Chains A and B, each alone.
Chain A
């Protein structure tokens, strides 16, 4: 696999260097830890801090979501690997405005351990109150009755968006956590993989798929999904994804949703819009109202081919959160 890089061991540091140099008005590095990035804008006293984090290789996730209206800081991990407690703690110290900090991340064993350790340290050593909310939106990753075991994929974007808005509205730590968990409870995603990505350090494909194959329910680190099969038409794949989601969460006629059709890194917008077209048809047939739509690369997996569909069922509170303006280097909503 060809990549534009220098030494693979420097790729994360060099990406961060380029990112903060390109957007100095929005994001800066904390001097104590190069993997700890925080907003360069002054945030309000007593605003709950929002910390997002995870492995790198998912850009715009996660550092792309630091900015006004969304996250105040990000801890950046190695490629597809949770950040260690150190950068998480440094970000926490930097973004605490006296009202505590909420950690938002996907439900992966490594993230749970590292964020958990950082939260303990923040409490013990720094006296900072930490709340947490985990994304578990991937319906393909565990049965409904084991939702707490599910991994977080593109739906993390909606959870960050909702929690970031709640913090901006001046909600307390408990309230921000409540909104984040509510966003997660109302969000479902499912993906399809068409081609693997390769880690810069190994150059080897993360999984093997035949030229004419697809993997339904694929995870965004290339974790195997529910089944492998012959590639089908965009409509038929989209039907499968949306139907599995709608079997998992009850969304009735007249209810509103936010829709995200997310590319995994190397899928053209053309194909994402073909999928969106079908999502709209299905929801329209069922009388479900699309309140807002997002189509593009929001949480990727390096150059993986494929896409995911996410639906978030809205109520008044989530609707207000999803409407809230955001200004991040990789995502702007007016």
Chain B
């Protein structure tokens, strides 16, 4: 499949509406584990991105520059711990698609793998710590292996999102080991991690986007 710079912008527009819809849900999850602001934080960051897309990025055709700008804008608006994490993800992805206005299956797979691995590296978390890595690592592992086998991004991404979703749901069953919620110990069991959830939502939004906005080839 092909994916253009403008489609990147439309995809980010869909994240912006998704975040507004899920804002309260993410805060609700976070109240059980942190200070209850994850939805607010995501909203602050994506609203800033929204403004960039409508202004500086209107004419931008370089997928790399769009993603660098998205990462930097998000980081600057948010700070917090999600700022550096998501910003690193988008900026690592930007490196893969630098200088390209249209990307193909290979680039897409590499973009999302770099996104997930970048976040993991920045946050230094592992699967089982009850963080966004619980969504992102199984997602990236599955994307890598299925794409190597099939060379079909769409198939690989669908399976990868499914793996990410399972990882997200698994965060309900485990004890938090990172960040502010880590001192909760056993009391954190039963609550789904808000970071794992927002990471899943970002991936699921991309899955829906390519389902409805790109032509199925072959």
Identify the A interface with B (CB < 8 A): 9, 55, 77-86, 108-110, 113-114, 117, 140-142, 149, 151, 199, 201-202, 204, 206-207, 219, 221-225
**Given A81-B41, A108-B180, A201-B40, also A206-B83 (CB < 8 A):** no
Q: Which residues of chain A are near B39, meaning CB under 8 Å?
A: 202
Docked CA distance A202–B85 (Å): 23
Secondary structure class of chain A's binding surface, majority of residues: loop
A38 to chain B, nearest CB (A): 18
CB closest residue in chain B, given A79: B37
Docked CA distance A9–B81 (Å): 19
Which of B8-16, B27-35, B208-216 is found at the contact surface with chain A? B27-35
Q: Which residues of chain A are near B27, meaning CB under 8 Å?
A: 202, 204
Top 5 nearest A-B pairs (CB, nearest first) are A110-B81, A81-B80, A84-B79, A113-B84, A221-B35
Determine which residue in A83, A140, A225 has the highest number of CB atoms from chain B within 10 A of its CB, and name it: A83
Q: Which residues of chain B are near A55, meaning CB under 8 Å?
A: 79-80
Q: Does B17 contact A (CB under 8 A)?
A: no
Q: Does B122 contact A (CB under 8 A)?
A: yes
Q: Which chain B residues in 67-83 approach chain A with CB under 8 Å?
A: 75-83
* Subset of 10 A-B contacts with CB under 8 Å: A9-B44, A79-B37, A80-B35, A82-B80, A84-B76, A109-B179, A199-B35, A199-B37, A221-B35, A224-B183
Give the size category of B's interface with A: 20 to 34
Q: Does B151 contact A (CB under 8 A)?
A: no
Q: Which residues of chain A are near B37, meaning CB under 8 Å?
A: 79-81, 199, 201-202
Q: Does B178 contact A (CB under 8 A)?
A: yes
Report whether B44 and A206 are in contact in the complex, using a CB–CB cutoff of 8 Å.
Answer: no
Report whether B35 and A114 are in contact in the complex, using a CB–CB cutoff of 8 Å.
Answer: no
Extra inter-chain contacts (18) besides given A84-B76, A109-B123, CB under 8 Å: A78-B78, A80-B35, A81-B37, A81-B79, A83-B79, A84-B83, A86-B75, A109-B179, A113-B83, A113-B85, A140-B183, A199-B35, A199-B36, A202-B27, A202-B39, A204-B36, A221-B180, A223-B35
1/0 per position for B73-110, CB-CB distance to A under 8 A? 00111111111110000000000000000000000000
CB closest residue in chain A, given B41: A81
Report whether B79 and A223 are in contact in the complex, using a CB–CB cutoff of 8 Å.
Answer: no
Q: Which residues of chain A are near B81, meaning CB under 8 Å?
A: 82, 108-110, 113
Q: Does B169 contact A (CB under 8 A)?
A: no
Partner of A113, one of B31, B35, B122: B122
CB closest residue in chain B, given A75: B79
Q: Which residues of chain B are near A149, meaning CB under 8 Å?
A: 182
Q: Which residues of chain A are near B7, meaning CB under 8 Å?
A: none
Partner of B184, one of A108, A202, A224: A224
CB closest residue in chain B, given A150: B183
Docked CA distance A61–B149 (Å): 54
Partner of B79, one of A78, A207, A221: A78
**Given A80-B35, A113-B85, A222-B35, also A142-B183 (CB < 8 A):** yes
Report whether A114 and B79 are in contact in the complex, using a CB–CB cutoff of 8 Å.
Answer: yes
CB closest residue in chain A, given B178: A109
Q: Which residues of chain A are near B178, meaning CB under 8 Å?
A: 109
Q: Does B181 contact A (CB under 8 A)?
A: yes
CB closest residue in chain A, given B82: A110
Q: Which chain B residues in 33-77 approach chain A with CB under 8 Å?
A: 34-37, 39-41, 44, 75-77
A196 to chain B, nearest CB (A): 9
Docked CA distance A55–B35 (Å): 12
A167 to chain B, nearest CB (A): 25
Determine which residue in A78, A140, A204, A207 has the highest number of CB atoms from chain B within 10 A of its CB, and name it: A78
Q: Which residues of chain A are near B180, meaning CB under 8 Å?
A: 108-109, 151, 219, 221, 223
Q: Which chain B residues in 173-202 approach chain A with CB under 8 Å?
A: 178-184, 187
Docked CA distance A170–B123 (Å): 36
Q: Which residues of chain B are near A207, meaning CB under 8 Å?
A: 31
Docked CA distance A83–B181 (Å): 20
Determine which residue in A86, A110, A221 has the highest number of CB atoms from chain B within 10 A of its CB, and name it: A110
A205 to chain B, nearest CB (A): 8
CB closest residue in chain A, given B187: A224
Docked CA distance A199–B184 (Å): 21
B216 to chain A, nearest CB (A): 40
A217 to chain B, nearest CB (A): 8
CB closest residue in chain A, given B80: A81
A153 to chain B, nearest CB (A): 12
Report whether B36 and A206 are in contact in the complex, using a CB–CB cutoff of 8 Å.
Answer: yes
Docked CA distance A222–B187 (Å): 15
Q: Which residues of chain B are near A110, meaning CB under 8 Å?
A: 79-84
